[in-house]
C-alpha cells in the first residue's frame, strides 16, 4: 500500500493526474483512515498503469473507461481495437500526404534562384 505521492513518483505522473482519474470514475479513491493518508493498493496501481498504457496507445479516457468495463467481453474490445487501428491508419495516410506536399514545397525552395521570392510563402499565401 502506497500514498498518492509515492504512486505518482513511481509512475512518473502528477498527483493531480491520479485525482483526475478519481473524479472521472476511472479509479476508486481509497478510504481515508481516521489518522494518516489514503493508501493505494497494488490492484489500484495496476489499474492506473492500465490507463496510462491505453492512453499511450491512443485511446481516449472515454475509450479507456469502456475498455475497463469490457474486460470480460473480448469481442467488444477487439472491435474497439480495430476502430482505433483504422483511425491510426487514416492518420498515417494523412501524414504521408502531408510529407509529400512539404517535400515538394521544400524542393521548389531549394531550386529557387530568386531570394526575394519564396515558393513556400507564396503557396501558403495563395491557398
Give 10-37 pLDDT, tens digit per residue.
999 999 999 999 999 999 999 988 888 8
pLDDT value of position 122: 85
Average pLDDT of the chain, as a whole number: 93
pLDDT at 63 exceeding the cut of 80:
yes
The CATH-assigned architecture of domain 1-69 is Orthogonal Bundle (1.10)
Q: Scanning the structure block, which residue is given the C-alpha cell 491510426? A: 88
Q: Please state the domain extents for the chain.
A: 1-69, 73-127
Amino acid at each position: 500500500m502506497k500514498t498518492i505521492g509515492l504512486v505518482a513518483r513511481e509512475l512518473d505522473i502528477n498527483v493531480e493526474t491520479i485525482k483526475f482519474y478519481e473524479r472521472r470514475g476511472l479509479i476508486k479513491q481509497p478510504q481515508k483512515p481516521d489518522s494518516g493518508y489514503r493508501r493505494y493498493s497494488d490492484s489500484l496501481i495496476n489499474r492506473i498503469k492500465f490507463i496510462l498504457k491505453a492512453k499511450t496507445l491512443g485511446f481516449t479516457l472515454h475509450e479507456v473507461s469502456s475498455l475497463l468495463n469490457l474486460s470480460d467481453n473480448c469481442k467488444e474490445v477487439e472491435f474497439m481495437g480495430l476502430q482505433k487501428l483504422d483511425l491510426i491508419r487514416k492518420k498515417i495516410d494523412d501524414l504521408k500526404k502531408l510529407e509529400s506536399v512539404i517535400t515538394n514545397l521544400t524542393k521548389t525552395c531549394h531550386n529557387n534562384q530568386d531570394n526575394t521570392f519564396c515558393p513556400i510563402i507564396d503557396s501558403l499565401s495563395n491557398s
